[in-house]
Each structure stands twice: as C-alpha cells, then as structure tokens.
Amino acid sequence: MKILLVGSGGREHALGLGLHQDPACTSLHVAPGNPGIAEFAQCHAIDITSNAQIVALAQEIAADLVVIGPELPLVNGVADDLRRLKIAVFGPSKAAAQLEGSKTFAKEVMSDAGVPTAHSFTCESKGEIERALDSFGAPYVVKDDGLAGGKGVVVTHNRQEALDHALACKRVVIEEYLNGPEVSLFGISDGVSILAMQPAQDFKRAHDNDQGPNTGGMGAYSPLPWAPSDIIDDTYKQVLAPMIAEMSARGTPFVGLLYAGLALTDHGTRVIEFNVRFGDPETQVLIPLLKTPLATLLYKAATAGLADTVLEWRDESAVTVVLAAEGYPSAPQSGGCISAFPSIEHVQIFQAGTSQNGQGLVATGGRVLTVTGVGGDLTEARDRAYRGISQISLPGSFYRSDIALNASVAEKGN
Ligand code: AMP
Ligand code: GLY
C-alpha cells in the first residue's frame, strides 16, 4: 500500500514511523515532512494549505491511502476532494471537521447526542457576553468560536480580561468552569464503528508546576495509573459512540481520529473540546505503545472496515518531553544549531521544528522536537526520556522537568 501522510510535526514523525513499520506499507510519502521523517520516507515540499496541491500529489504517487495530520487541511475540506476521486483518506470531511472548526457546532452535536459537556452560551453582542459571564461567575471560560491555533481560550478570574477576550472574538462561547484532571482520549472511526485508544495526559503550560503561558503541549504520558479503571469503556459509551452515531444520523459521518479532551470532574466525565486529528504530543506516546499495525488500521478506518478490529497495546508505559526553542510560545527563536542526537535504547526522538542546513540540524519552530522514553513503568519511561533530552543541546532551549512526575509517584504508591 502506498501512503501519503500530510503534515510536518512530531505527531507526523510518530505516525510516519508507525505507518512505515507496518509491512502493509510499501512506500511512504510525506508532505511536507521534516528531516526526521526523511530518514524513512520520501518528503515532498508542497503547500498543505492548498487542497489542490495535496490532491495532485496523491494522484501523482497513486496513493492507496492519504492520512491527514493537522486540522487545517481537514477544515479546508481536503478529505472531500480526495474522496470525490475515490482515494481512501483517513480524516473527516469538511462538515465533520466542524467539530474542531466551530465550538458552537461541537456543542450542538453534543447536546443532540446527549454527551456531557460544560453548560455554555454562544454570544455575539456585548450584552449577551456580560450576561453569560455573570451567570457563570469566576473562573470565567471564554472561547473563540473558530479555529484559533491554540490561542482561542482564556480561563481567568479577571472579569475584565474575560470581557476583553470575548469582545475581540467574532463569535464567542462562554461556558461553565470544569474542575478536575484533564485527559486526552482518542477514538479511531470508520464512520460507523469507533475504537477507543488508551488515554494520555498532555501538559499544556510552558513551565513546571503548570506555570507560564498555554502552549500546544510540552509533554505527555500514557497510560494513566491514577485514572478510573473504566475510563476507556465509560468514554466509549458516554462520548465516542454517541458522537459517531449522531454524526452519521446527520448525514455527515465522522471518519478519522476523534480527539476527546475530557475533564474528570466530581460530577463525572465532561467533554472540554473535540479535535478532529491526532493530538500532539500525545501521539508521540500512543504510537510507540500501539501493537496493532498502524497502516492497516487507518486503511480499515478509511474504507468502512473497522468492525471486529480490536486495538492491542504493549504492556509498557511511555513518556514524551518537548524541547522548545527560546521564546516559545510567544516569540520562538529560529536558527539555533541542534547537537547530534544520542542513541539510547528505548528512546525515540521525534522531530518537529527542524531543518537541515549545510552544518547540521537547526531549529525552525517553537516545538523543536520531542523525546519519548518507553519502559516497564512510568518511572522507567521518564528516566529514559529525560536521559535522552538532557543529551541534546540547543542554545536557549528549554523543557519541563515534571512531565509524568506526579503520575510516576502515584504509580509507585499503587
Ligand atoms: P481548548 O483550546 O478548548 O483545549 O482549551 C484550552 C485549555 O483551556 C484546556 O486544555 C483547559 O485546560 C482549559 N479549558 C477549556 N475549557 C475549560 C472549561 N470549561 N473549564 C476549565 N478549563 C477549561
Ligand atoms: N495536545 C493538544 C493538541 O494536540 O491539541
């Protein structure tokens, strides 16, 4: 099977490796990819904001399967363009991608499907905004309705800050504050069936102890030793299956990866948000733990063939730590030289914001790379990830030192 993978981040590096390791994948092409991915796949420098360029490349290489990594091409409708040409694609249609593209749409579908989420109001005027803020009270949760590249959500005790953010958005969702640990749980769907993956936890703040600004994610781990033992079944029944049934009933079936961002509150599981693609950096811990061959799995999802498939996992743990460039997330510095990578057993380095120049690897983005350690438990996985990342140097760069720390302590207490 010839596969085209679209994207260039650490998520795509991990997905690419998973696809490449499945013997069913005979050739792997990536657009645009990065130097890490180029070690095992053929990279094509196209503009992935252009559906036409993605479609032309899929045709040129006669792809049997196209896997879309990031949300933007999905929200732009590239999956529809590919399906029209009878090319199998792992990724939702433009209509189904609105689950990530519009918070209001996601709320409507959850309401119709009976999926538990925060109570919310969609507001367009100052009066509506003020009424919504005052009806929920602090802490205020204010979300830009549309795609905002991770900058759309403000959670604050400061009413003025909440109001200012709300007024700066065209359409805004104001909702109830959800208190409880956050979990990322992904489902792989063919439009009818959905397979729940094991949960992961992502660290969104830039610095240790959840200090500093929100980021795309500074690290992740899986599994979660502290989570309720029925979290996968419970999320399947309460969230994933009803969403897939509702999307299908609306005539816009969801094919691809449904990312449920959950809060485990005292009153039960609540959905914080949906994304319509694999999470980054959660993918960098889930793919190394997944035993089920990835190319075959995603092909089955793309061709209505998931019924009877079960996911198999390694009985191990994984921890990934992001190396961020100086200034990330507000003003990341590019151009710094990255030292050679260590070669350590059970450690994988996934590149993201890197490029190759005459001398070697240089940083080109905020999240430069992620280092994943796999081990018998979180403590071992953590030790390996941190041994790996501590041996990579990039001037001014930083990483969190507490990824999976509390969970590994909790695990020892079990
Ligand atoms: P999102 O872009 O929807 O993932 O939101 C970014 C972050 O804001 C989430 O990971 C949460 O930490 C926080 N957040 C979003 N919605 C809520 C909520 N209703 N209650 C508490 N925190 C929230
Ligand atoms: N890990 C957060 C995201 O992928 O959106």
Taking only the tens place, the pLDDT of each residue in 247-294 is 999 999 999 999 999 999 999 999 999 999 999 999 999 999 999 999
Domains of the chain, by residue range, sit at 2-90, 121-175, 180-302, 317-413
How many angstroms separate the CA atoms of 190 and 20, rounded?
21
Residue-level pLDDT at 145? 87
**Any ligand 2 atom below 6 A from CB of 282:** yes
Taking only the tens place, the pLDDT of each residue in 212-239 is 988 999 999 999 999 999 999 999 999 9
Taking only the tens place, the pLDDT of each residue in 169-197 is 989 999 999 999 999 999 999 999 999 99
Q: What is the mean pLDDT of residues 376-402?
A: 98
Residue-level pLDDT at 149? 66
Confirm if 29 and 1 have CB atoms less than 8 A apart. Answer: no
Q: What is the mean pLDDT of residues 82-108?
A: 96
For residue 336, give every residue at least 6 positions away whose Cβ sits within 8 Å of its Cβ, in sequence order, or none. 325, 326, 362, 363, 394, 395, 396, 397
User: The tokens of 43 are what?
Assistant: 């990279």
Ligand nearest to the CA of 320: 2
Of residues 366, 397, 369, the one with CA closest to residue 385: 369
Q: 8 vs 172, 236, 355, 397, CA distance in Å?
A: 30, 30, 11, 20
Residue-level pLDDT at 147? 77
CATH topology of domain 2-90: Rossmann fold (3.40.50)
Residue-level pLDDT at 359? 82
CATH topology of domain 121-175: Dna Ligase; domain 1 (3.30.1490)
**Any ligand 2 atom below 6 A from CB of 275:** yes
Mean pLDDT of the chain: 96
Domain 180-302 sits in CATH 3.30.470.20? yes
Residue-level pLDDT at 162? 96
Residue-level pLDDT at 150? 63
Q: What is the mean pLDDT of residues 125-138?
A: 96
Of residues 262, 233, 249, 258, the one with CA closest to residue 117: 262
**Any ligand 1 atom below 6 A from CB of 175:** yes
**Any ligand 2 atom below 6 A from CB of 7:** no
Domain 317-413 sits in CATH 3.90.600.10? yes
Residue with tokens 């502290």: 226
Ligand nearest to the CA of 9: 2
Q: What percent of the chain has pLDDT over 90?
A: 95
Atom of ligand 2 at shortest distance to CA of 281?
A: 1
Confidence of residue 414 (pLDDT cuts 50, 70, 90): low
Atom of ligand 1 at shortest distance to CA of 204?
A: 10
pTM of model > 0.85: yes
**Any ligand 1 atom below 6 A from CB of 141:** yes
**Any ligand 2 atom below 6 A from CB of 202:** yes
Confidence of residue 410 (pLDDT cuts 50, 70, 90): confident
Q: What percent of the chain has pLDDT over 70?
A: 99
| Residue 82 predicted with pLDDT over 90 | yes
Q: Which residue's CA is the nearest one to ligand 1's atom 4?
A: 273
